[in-house]
Chain A
Amino acid sequence: MEGLNAAFSALSDPTRRAILVRLAMGEETVMELAKPFEMTQPAVSRHLKVLEEAGLIARRVDGTRRPCRLAEPGIAAIDQWLGMLRQALAKNYDRLDKVLEGMNSEKEKR
């Protein structure tokens, strides 16, 4: 897992996003993954390498095959950071609601 930056650069490419969508349906080999794209297997392999280094996919050895699947921790790391941000901001804005309420009643008193 190279971190959020690597994960997001990996996600910035449409082919890699399409590969992830495909893998969301289950494990696939490089050959299977290359089929829908007008791309050679080595080209697909290069995309898979980027996704693997970003911690977004994992591969296992099965004889001569190296099937790929989604790696939960990579996706989860992004979610974790966004989740933390979401929670901190939600708390801030709930407090801001009260501050605004207070400002409003101040105005009415005048």
Chain B
Amino acid sequence: MSKMTLTTEGDRYVIVTRHFNASPEAVYQAHTEPELIQKWLLGPEGWTMPVCINEARPGGRFRYEWSNGKGGDFYITGEILELEANRRIVHVERMHLPDATPDNHVETKFVADGAGTLMMMRMTLPDGETRKQMLSTGMEHGMEASYARLDSMS
């Protein structure tokens, strides 16, 4: 299994790459079909996505709602700007915490890599205030749960 890389590009973007042992068609499908997205786009352990709407077409809108069952719910809304089947998704999204964070512009590319796929994602780096909100809302709870599990294992 190949490891993920995460780097910053200047002071505005985060670049993520990851290899998958599946065709670009399959990886693209898992990024665009709601019933597949719901199975993996969950962040830290303990979160589910009860609502997943994704209109996979240019100009289409999407809405993902997450819940940790402890009142830590939040959601993301966004619009798909460009869509090239099996190759590229360009979208814009914002988190509602409940106030909307500044738009995060994301480009995701899928390129055949041997028998699998290399995914490359370029996202906007959030500002300090957004980062604080993100740390204090969604992900922190999940992180605590992960650390608690780690503690109980040691």
> A residues near B, CB below 8 A?
2-9, 11-12, 80-82, 84-93, 95-101, 103-104
Assess the B22–A100 pair: CB atoms within 8 A: yes
Leading 6 A-B pairs by shortest Cβ distance: A3-B128, A8-B11, A5-B127, A95-B40, A100-B22, A5-B128
Q: Is B36 in the interface zone, CB < 8 Å from A?
A: yes
Stretch at the interface among B41-49, B51-59, B79-87, B88-96: B41-49
The interface bits of chain B over 106-143 (1 if a CB of A lies within 8 angstroms of the residue's CB, else 0) are 00000000000000000001111101101100011011
Known: A5-B127, A104-B22. A82 touches B8 (CB 8 A): yes
Assess the A96–B11 pair: CB atoms within 8 A: no
Other A-B pairs beyond A81-B131, A88-B43, A89-B18, 4, CB < 8 Å: A4-B126, A4-B131, A12-B10, A84-B140
Q: Is B74 in the interface zone, CB < 8 Å from A?
A: no
Assess the B129–A3 pair: CB atoms within 8 A: yes
Assess the A86–B128 pair: CB atoms within 8 A: no
Kindly list chain A residues whose C-beta atoms are within 8 Å of the C-beta of B27: 96, 100
Q: Summarize A's interface: helix, strand, loop or mixed.
A: helix
Known: A3-B128, A7-B128, A87-B143. A100 touches B26 (CB 8 A): yes
Kindly list chain A residues whose C-beta atoms are within 8 Å of the C-beta of B127: 3-5
- How many residue pairs link A and B with beta carbons under 8 A? The number is 94
Assess the B6–A2 pair: CB atoms within 8 A: no
Partner of A92, one of B14, B40, B126, B134: B40
Partner of B11, one of A12, A81, A93, A100: A12
Q: Is B4 in the interface zone, CB < 8 Å from A?
A: yes
Kindly list chain A residues whose C-beta atoms are within 8 Å of the C-beta of B142: 88
Assess the A95–B14 pair: CB atoms within 8 A: no
Kindly list chain B residues whose C-beta atoms are within 8 Å of the C-beta of A103: 22, 26, 29-30, 36
Q: In angstroms, how far is the closest chain B Cβ from the Cβ of A1?
A: 8
Known: A3-B127, A4-B131, A6-B128. A82 touches B14 (CB 8 A): yes
Q: In angstroms, how far is the closest chain A Cβ from the Cβ of B116?
A: 9
Assess the A97–B14 pair: CB atoms within 8 A: no
Q: In angstroms, how far is the closest chain B Cβ from the Cβ of A36?
A: 23
Residue among B11, B39, B142, B146 facing the most chain A CB atoms (10 A cut-off): B11
26 A-B Cβ contacts within 8 A?
Answer: A2-B128, A3-B127, A3-B132, A4-B127, A6-B128, A7-B128, A8-B11, A81-B135, A82-B14, A84-B135, A84-B139, A87-B143, A87-B146, A91-B42, A93-B18, A93-B20, A95-B42, A96-B30, A97-B20, A100-B22, A100-B26, A103-B22, A103-B26, A103-B30, A104-B22, A104-B26
